[in-house]
């Protein structure tokens, strides 16, 4: 590996040192001054975990399955666009790291490498495809058929990226244009303007046209969660896009707490992401009722530091931290993660 690291924060530092300045700022950037991105971390820190001592936990079990497909842990890869900026093979390389980690990787229409190319080089990787609604329904149908042909395990529709947001961190560089760096084999989405014209009927349309599980990504309110479920979503993905799209101030943790308070049904799965950098962060999200926890930027730090080996290392570190935190916190398996093992008063103030 080009840059060896032992912690995620070390990977982040090394990735910054070995990246083009503009590229790294583009990766780190979030909407406006990045308040919402920061809040994901701040709210995770406000939550305390109540440990259970003398719990006789030797080998905690955190393996799980994603819609019937076994994965090594609930830690999954969130979709990220433009990955060939960070490594010449981008998504193809990341998918290799995902396979070695035995998890699921979300890739998508904003990516640089086509789904066919990712699959060609990664025959066995567990992949899901994410569609931005940047085309008409025929184009969306084409994405669905391609996902099915390429044996994706699910289709995600990302609903929180209507137009490009203002991100001070990359805007202030004036000249950086992500599209100029790194190769592309994925087609450019035909019409981003159409994202402004769709409503919840789009989810019903996707659901009607595939037998794959449908995931709606970018949910932050109870109202939108209910609309997604009513429209047929098999899973909702609580996310503020790592704070990149809308400086709303709602952290993923706040959204998850509220949602679990108001919606009691367990008929749908919950994925959450935003600010996961430590094993204890994962325990917090799982204890609040998430089934899967996504990581975004850290996977790119791993990619920059060491290609697929770097991506694999990121997952390995997080799983190692999850394991030790489970032993020290007294969590035997995934069913031990319960809200009553948390102290929430600071985040609920």
189-218 binders of ligand FMN (CB under 6 A):
217
Please give the sequence-ordered ranges of beta strands (E in DSSP) within the chain, or none if there are none: 48-49, 64-66, 69-71, 75-77, 104-108, 126-131, 155-158, 214-219, 235-238, 269-273, 292-295, 342-343
Rounded Cα distance, 147 and 71, in Å: 20
Q: Is 297 in the site for ligand FMN (CB under 6 A)?
A: yes
Q: Is 307 in the site for ligand FMN (CB under 6 A)?
A: no
Could you give the CA distance from residue 94 to residue 308 in angstroms, rounded to a whole number?
Answer: 5
Give the footprint of ligand FMN on residues 66-95 (CB under 6 A). Answer: 78-81
When the beta carbons of 15 and 57 are compared against ligand FMN, the nearer one is 15
- Write out the two tokens for 216: 């709606």
Q: Which run of H or of E encompasses 278? A: none
The interface mask with ligand FMN, positions 107-126, x = CB under 6 A, is -x-x----------------
Which of 295, 317, 326, 342 contacts ligand FMN by CB under 6 A? 295
Instruction: Please state, in angstroms and rounded to a whole number, the distance separating the CA atoms of residues 51 and 330.
Output: 6
Q: Which of 73, 114, 130, 247 binds ligand FMN (CB under 6 A)?
A: 130
- 39 in contact with ligand FMN (CB under 6 A): no
Return the structure tokens found at 266. Answer: 């367990």
| Integer CA distances (angstroms), 136 to 79, 104, 141, 198, in order | 21, 28, 9, 10
Binding of ligand FMN at residue 308 (CB under 6 A)?
A: no
Q: Confirm or reject binding of residue 257 to ligand FMN (CB under 6 A).
A: no
Selected from 49, 203, 276, 317, the binder of ligand FMN by CB under 6 A is: 276
For ligand FMN, the binding residues in 153-182 under the rule CB under 6 A are: 158
Name the residue nearer to ligand FMN (CB basis): 135 or 275: 275
CB closer to ligand FMN, 106 vs 332? 106
Number of shown-chain residues binding ligand FMN (CB under 6 A): 22
- Extract the tokens encoding 107: 């890739």
SS3 content of the chain, % helix, strand, coil (to 5): 45, 15, 40
Task: Please give the residue whose beta carbon sits closest to ligand FMN in the complex.
Answer: 296
Pairing between β-strand 69-71 and β-strand 75-77 as defined by DSSP bridges: unpaired
Other beta carbons less than 10 A from residue 217's beta carbon: 28
* Contact stretch for ligand FMN (CB under 6 A) within 65-73, 114-122, 136-144, 237-245: 237-245
What is the C-alpha to C-alpha distance for residues 118 and 91, in angstroms, rounded to an integer? 7
Least distance CB 295 / ligand FMN (angstroms)? 5
Residues that bind ligand FMN (CB under 6 A): 27, 40, 78-81, 108, 110, 130, 158, 217, 239, 241-242, 244, 273-276, 295-297
């Amino acid at each position: 590996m080009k840059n060896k690291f032992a912690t995620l924060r070390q990977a982040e530092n090394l990735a910054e040192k070995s990246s083009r300045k503009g590229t790294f700022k583009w990766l780190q950037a979030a909407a406006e001054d990045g308040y919402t991105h920061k809040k994901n971390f701040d709210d995770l820190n406000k939550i305390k975990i109540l440990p259970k001592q003398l719990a006789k936990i030797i080998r905690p079990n955190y393996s799980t399955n994603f819609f019937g497909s076994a994965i090594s842990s609930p830690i999954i890869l969130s979709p990220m666009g433009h990955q060939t900026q960070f490594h010449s093979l981008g998504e193809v390389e990341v998918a290799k790291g995902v396979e070695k980690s035995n998890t699921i990787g979300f890739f998508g229409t904003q990516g640089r490498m086509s789904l066919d190319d990712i699959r060609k080089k990664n025959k066995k990787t567990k992949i899901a495809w994410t569609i931005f609604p940047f085309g008409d329904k025929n184009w969306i149908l084409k994405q669905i058929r391609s996902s099915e042909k390429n044996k994706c395990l699910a289709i995600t529709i990302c609903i929180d990226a209507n137009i490009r947001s203002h991100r001070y961190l990359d805007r202030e560089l004036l000249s950086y244009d992500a599209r100029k760096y790194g190769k592309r084999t994925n087609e450019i989405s035909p019409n981003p303007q159409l994202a402004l014209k769709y409503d919840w009927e789009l989810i019903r349309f996707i659901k009607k046209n595939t037998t794959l599980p449908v995931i709606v990504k970018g949910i932050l309110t109870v109202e939108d969660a209910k609309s997604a479920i009513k429209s047929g979503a098999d899973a909702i993905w609580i996310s503020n896009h790592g704070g990149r799209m809308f400086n709303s101030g709602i952290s993923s943790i706040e959204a998850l707490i509220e949602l679990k308070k108001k919606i009691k049904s367990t008929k749908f799965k919950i994925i959450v992401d935003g600010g996961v950098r430590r094993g204890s962060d994962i325990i917090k999200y799982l204890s609040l009722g998430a089934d899967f926890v996504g990581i975004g930027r850290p996977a790119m730090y791993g990619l920059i530091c060491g290609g697929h080996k770097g991506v694999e290392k990121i997952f390995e570190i997080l799983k190692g931290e999850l394991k030790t935190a489970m032993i020290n916190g007294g969590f035997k398996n995934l069913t031990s993660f319960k809200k009553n093992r948390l102290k929430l008063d600071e985040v609920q103030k």
